[in-house]
Structure 1
Amino acid sequence: MHGERRVKESGTIVAAHGRQYRVELASGELLNCFTRGKKSDVACGDRVEIARSGDGQGVIDAIAPRQSLLYRSNAFRQKLIAANVTQILIVVATEPSFSDELITRCLVAAESQDLAVRILLNKCDLEAPLASAQAQLAPFAQLGTPILPLSARQSVDTLRPLLEGHTSVLVGQSGMGKSTLTNALVPHAQAATREISEALDSGKHTTTHATLYRLNAETALIDSPGLQEFGLHHLSAEGIEQGFPEFRPHLGQCRFRNCRHEREPDCAILAALERGEIDPRRYAAFLRLRAETA
């Protein structure tokens, strides 16, 4: 007797929580799905093939080739953030204070995946800390990174057209207002996350998992959990150098081919730093990144 052949269906991961996933099928139907093995390397935004295993449930059988994968890593493990995104939106705020090194690391990660990137400066209605936040972002503005000042509590109209046609992922530290932004852009977001939390039994929702929301047929937004660190252990030394656009005119100009740009004589990067062409804080972040991945 032949075993019953299960029909494969295609869908998109719209929420990832541990080894449980919410999959949206082409019809719009939502299923709770699991992976077959213990190890899970599925990310929010992944396009997958599933086989139904029961009422409203399924098993993930395959992941389609990805256009991009944003993830962070340390020496021991990697943490997937989102797949198939085309734009990273780094959310910072006038308060609480933010880490410019985290921004640098996000930019290096974006560069490694060839993704568009934009910094959103939230809470701009708070005038007192605004100048300080803008000064902290000045080195990124000088590099040509687009910075959009806004207040998610007042209006997100300036942001909407910049999302069109993209699958964007919001990344940033906790407290920067990513969820407020999401709720302003996606009116049903709170209801949807509540529903996902109940379906995946993940309790109270404080963005402990990434969630994808569709704004229209061509546009999607992924809200991700707050980051306190962004390890890039998976990048090579060359990949890290290329992630700093201000280094590029000087790469290959050092006396030594394998120059680490630390104390070597006739180092083009150190000379550019001396001339004020490279921001000292960015250079210090580069050295820390290099040391981590050595």
Structure 2
Amino acid sequence: MTDATQPGRVIAAHGRHYRVAIDHTDVLRHCYTRGKKAGPAVGDHVLIRPEGHLEGVITEILPRRNLFYRSDAQRSKLFAANIDQLLLVLAAEPEFSDDLLGRAMVAASSAGIQIRIVLNKADLPSTAAARARLASTEALGVPLTLISALDTAQVHERLEPLLRGRCTLLLGQSGMGKSTLLNALVPEAGAATRAHSEALGTGRHTTTQTRLYTLPGGGDLIDSPGFQAFGLQHLSPDEIEQGFPEFAPAIAQCRFYNCTHQHEPGCGVLAAVARGDISTDRHALYMRILAENKAAQRY
């Protein structure tokens, strides 16, 4: 750091525009980056060079503990950096995607980030069916909390103890009630909410930027736009494997040290799938992600 720069933390991002809270002050600066290199994510600690009145240029991204993001052939979407846990919001209605859930779990596990699931709209009769679909995920050790985001007292009672003193990324498919949940936890956030369209059977995006909020009871909550896709093209084969921690005991039984767990004889993972010790759906997701990333490398 030089005399011309100031340390701060990125608390909001929209495109290539960022809001940075300057350390140990109440100053917020509207900042941007120069060049085409990857930009910062909300939660990043950065150095900025002040410009004009409450503006600045981000000159350096300081070392990260972790980075949670998705990527496809077109671009990468940075969700957040330096987080302690991912709070994935699902709902009884509209129906959530098992594939997107699985991909978020892989991204979190490969980055060493704890994941928790919140099943929203738990007052609906369809909750039992949604809970049954999540039984295999719970069996992997992923904690599940049932709430109704419209019941503010219940939200505070069940979630505040999980969020206190931690930096949490709030993530969910569109239509899961994530903005309603944010409003219950941080009333001043003023997040826009829209009624789910029954005619379309899908939600509408209500968050257009990623933003960090300080929780009244302690801790930080990062809200990000809803998503309908979750590419993982930034992950190497080894990192994809790390995203399936339940494979680890079986991998130790593989005959070949470089086994890809797809077709090799003597593969401990394939044997575990055949015995039912590893879910066929999880192994199928592993195969899909490997195939997608291999195909992407050809272009």
How far is 1:293 from its partner?
A: 2.2
What is the correspondence of 1:1-294 to structure 2 with a 5 Å cutoff? 7-26=4-23, 27-126=25-124, 128-154=125-151, 155-156=154-155, 157-190=157-190, 206-216=206-216, 219-294=219-294
Which deviates more from structure 2 when the two are superposed, residues 244-253 or residues 14-23?
Answer: 244-253
SS at match of 1:246: helix
Which deviates more from structure 2 when the two are superposed, residues 99-108 or residues 34-43?
Answer: 34-43
How far is 1:8 from its partner?
A: 1.9
Q: Deviations over 1:77-110 (max 9, x none)?
A: 3221111111111110001011122122111211
How far is 1:191 from its partner?
A: 7.3
Structure 1 CA distance for aligned equivalents of residues 95 and 161 of structure 2: 28
Q: Where in structure 2 are there 5+ consecutive unaligned residues?
A: 193-204, 295-299
Which deviates more from structure 2 when the two are superposed, residues 255-264 or residues 226-235?
Answer: 255-264
Structure 1 CA distance for aligned equivalents of residues 216 and 84 of structure 2: 15
Structure 2 CA distance for aligned equivalents of residues 48 and 263 of structure 1: 45
| 1:91/1:120 contact within 8 Å kept | yes
Structure 2 CA distance for aligned equivalents of residues 62 and 239 of structure 1: 26
Aligned residue pair count: 278
Aligned to 1:198: none
| 1:19/1:40 contact within 8 Å kept | no
Q: Deviations over 1:114-138 (max 9, x none)?
A: 1121011111011x21111111111
Q: Deviations over 1:39-68 (max 9, x none)?
A: 441111111111221112111121111111
Q: Deviations over 1:236-279 (max 9, x none)?
A: 21221222122111103223333332333332212211111111
Structure 2 CA distance for aligned equivalents of residues 93 and 217 of structure 1: 25
Q: TM-score, normalised by structure 2?
A: 0.87
| 1:105/1:230 contact within 8 Å kept | yes
How far is 1:230 from its partner?
A: 1.4
Q: Deviations over 1:183-232 (max 9, x none)?
A: 1100100179xxxxxxxxxxxx9311111001159510000111112111
How far is 1:158 from its partner?
A: 0.5
C-alpha spacing 1:191/1:143, structure 2 compared with 1 (3 Å): closer
C-alpha spacing 1:223/1:153, structure 2 compared with 1 (3 Å): same
Structure 2 CA distance for aligned equivalents of residues 116 and 259 of structure 1: 27
Structure 2 CA distance for aligned equivalents of residues 209 and 267 of structure 1: 44
| 2:186/2:216 contact within 8 Å kept | no
Structure 2 CA distance for aligned equivalents of residues 130 and 110 of structure 1: 25
Q: Post-superposition, which runs of at least 4 consecutive aligned residues in structure 1 deviate over 3 A?
A: none
Structure 2 CA distance for aligned equivalents of residues 191 and 29 of structure 1: 23
Q: TM-score, normalised by structure 1?
A: 0.88
**One-letter amino acid of the counterpart of residue 174, structure 2:** S
| 1:19/1:35 contact within 8 Å kept | yes
Aligned to 2:197: none
Structure 1 CA distance for aligned equivalents of residues 3 and 261 of structure 2: 57
SS at match of 1:158: helix
Which deviates more from structure 2 when the two are superposed, residues 143-152 or residues 274-283?
Answer: 274-283
Which deviates more from structure 2 when the two are superposed, residues 138-147 or residues 29-38?
Answer: 29-38
**One-letter amino acid of the counterpart of residue 22, structure 2:** L
SS at match of 2:222: strand
Structure 2 CA distance for aligned equivalents of residues 289 and 38 of structure 1: 28
Which deviates more from structure 2 when the two are superposed, residues 213-222 or residues 235-244?
Answer: 213-222
